[in-house]
Amino acid sequence: MENIFGENTKRLGFGLMRLPELSESGKFGKIDIELTKKMVDHFISEGFTYFDTAWMYCESKSEDAAGEALVSRHKRDGFTLATKLHCGFFNNEEEREKIFETQLEKTRVDYFDYYLLHDLGEDHYKKYQKFGCFEWLADKKKAGYVRHMGFSYHDRAELLDRILTEHPEVEFVQLQLNYLDWESEAIQSRKCYEVCVKHSKPVIVMEPVKGGTLSNVVPAVERLFKEHSPEMSVASWAIRFAASQPNVKMVLSGMGNMAMMKDNTGYMKDFVPLNEEEMELIKQATNIINSSIAIPCTACEYCVDGCPKNIPIPKYFSLYNAELQEYEGKGFTPQKEYYDRLAETHGRADDCIECGKCEKICPQHLPIRKNLKLVASKFS
Ligand code: SF4
Ligand code: SF4
């Protein structure tokens, strides 16, 4: 099977979804473009080439940042760029075309190396089918605007099998894959990965550290990793786990600062897959974390915009998880203060009117309404 990512390509991709911000507004209106440029330059100077953006990332500013920090400053054959079409942003073929043209303008490229239909699952698959998006994308490829076509996926393995059977023209799949979700029945990382292997589709990994969850692990897991390799970061274990799967050709990391960039590029420059002993440690870590994470939210924020009560759902879940992971006997914990500050400008957890909009869009299929009740009982 031809490796469409290149035989010698380094397996770390710069995910442009959590770019550094200039202010602490909580909005992505102000990307720190100067820092982004430095991070892009460092990434390329270390021999990495893959960049991943999307129409909706950073409140629709990520593609512009890719144009400014990457494309206008580096040789076109020195990097590859991936972006995506999300079915939530068009309702007819003209609107879809307009998005594609705007993406070319924003990113300042003549073609995309990789183009994905964004966030496939049962509902979105229907819409992409209804508008003939697979055929549309294949036409873009024929016309030279796209080099390789794929999709990102958040649903059950069974449906993935069906989609890849119905669309053998797809060249790669982007999956949520990390050691915590590997055996999860809700996310089905392993099962989805195995479906891709069955269909000979290379995998790009998103959420290797599960939105930061696997870089902020409970102290027992941190100890486990640090005792084995004191110099390695906790996050490195998660990224190396994903990159160690033989059919994984690229692991995306949404790097938001230079420290993260230097850490990731350091151990991924000459990547060595995890050995048996290290895989065993990962299993132990998974068991410990699974017994301590209450709400496995990845902080993708897809649920936030549509909430009629303006509830910062992922932030509340993160606070709730953090509260439960505090070790006993610590005394003061800061989470309640953060909650109260957020609630001054947003809806409180118990403001939820249970409309269910958020649950329809959540790629992790979380029972958000039920979880908000837990949050409310803890902090309100
Ligand atoms: S169910 Fe609650 S949290 Fe979800 S969108 Fe509706 S009001 Fe917001
Ligand atoms: S609740 Fe679901 S949609 Fe909302 S941020 Fe968490 S994982 Fe994303």
Q: pLDDT value at position 39?
A: 98
Q: pLDDT value at position 336?
A: 86
Same-domain pairing of 319 and 285: no
CB of 368 closer than 8 Å to CB of 313: yes
> Across-strand partners of 203?
173, 248
Domain membership of residue 56 (yes or no) is: yes
What the block records as the tokens of 309 is 């009560």
In three-state secondary structure terms, 173 is strand
Domain membership of residue 305 (yes or no) is: no
Ligand 1 pocket, residue 375 CB under 6 Å:
no
CB of 189 closer than 8 Å to CB of 153: no
Distance 284 CA to ligand 2 centre (A): 26
- The pLDDT averaged over each successive group of 10 residues in the chain (380 residues) is 84 95 64 97 98 94 97 97 96 97 98 96 91 98 98 91 98 94 82 97 94 86 96 97 97 95 97 96 92 85 94 91 68 77 91 96 94 94
* Nearest ligand 2 atom, CA 362: 3
Type and span of the H or E element at 15: strand 12-15
For residue 18, give Cα distances in angstroms to 58, 86, 275, 282, 286: 7, 18, 30, 26, 25
Residue nearest to atom 8 of ligand 1 (CA): 307
Which residue reads 């249970």 in tokens?
A: 354
Same-domain pairing of 213 and 352: no
Same-domain pairing of 37 and 159: yes
Please identify, among 289, 323, 346, the residue that sits at the C-terminal boundary of a domain: 289
Domain membership of residue 297 (yes or no) is: no
Q: pLDDT value at position 319?
A: 86
Residue nearest to atom 2 of ligand 1 (CA): 352
Same-domain pairing of 283 and 317: no
Same-domain pairing of 41 and 157: yes
Same-domain pairing of 242 and 332: no
Domain membership of residue 303 (yes or no) is: no
Distance 356 CA to ligand 1 centre (A): 6
Domain membership of residue 217 (yes or no) is: yes
What is the tally of structural domains in the chain?
A: 2
Same-domain pairing of 87 and 123: yes
Q: pLDDT value at position 135?
A: 98
Q: pLDDT value at position 122?
A: 83
Same-domain pairing of 180 and 267: yes
Distance 233 CA to ligand 2 centre (A): 26
DSSP 217-262: --HHHHHHHHHH-TTS-HHHHHHHHHHTSTTEEEEEE---SHHHHH
Distance 358 CA to ligand 1 centre (A): 6
Reading phi first (left if > 0) and then psi (alpha if -120 to 50, else beta), residue 81 is in: beta
> Across-strand partners of 175?
153, 205
> Across-strand partners of 148?
114
Ligand 2 pocket, residue 295 CB under 6 Å:
no
Backbone φ and ψ for 108, nearest 5 degrees, come out as 65, 30
Ligand 2 pocket, residue 116 CB under 6 Å:
no
Same-domain pairing of 25 and 126: yes
Distance 210 CA to ligand 2 centre (A): 11
Q: pLDDT value at position 329?
A: 58
Nearest to 41 by CA among 72, 84, 8, 9: 72
Ligand 2 pocket, residue 178 CB under 6 Å:
no
Distance 192 CA to ligand 2 centre (A): 20
145/129 Cα distance (integer angstroms): 21
Range of the domain at 358: 313-379
Domain membership of residue 301 (yes or no) is: no
Ligand 1 pocket, residue 367 CB under 6 Å:
no
Q: How many CB atoms lie within 10 A of CB 165?
A: 11
Same-domain pairing of 158 and 76: yes
Same-domain pairing of 271 and 127: yes
Same-domain pairing of 243 and 354: no
DSSP 131-170: TTHHHHHHHHHHTTSEEEEEEEE-S-HHHHHHHHHH-TT-
Please identify, among 255, 289, 323, the residue that sits at the C-terminal boundary of a domain: 289
Please identify, among 236, 255, 289, the residue that sits at the C-terminal boundary of a domain: 289
357/4 Cα distance (integer angstroms): 38
CATH number for the domain including 72? 3.20.20.100
Distance 155 CA to ligand 2 centre (A): 14
Ligand 2 pocket, residue 112 CB under 6 Å:
no
Rounded-to-5 percentages of helix, strand, coil across the chain: 45, 10, 40
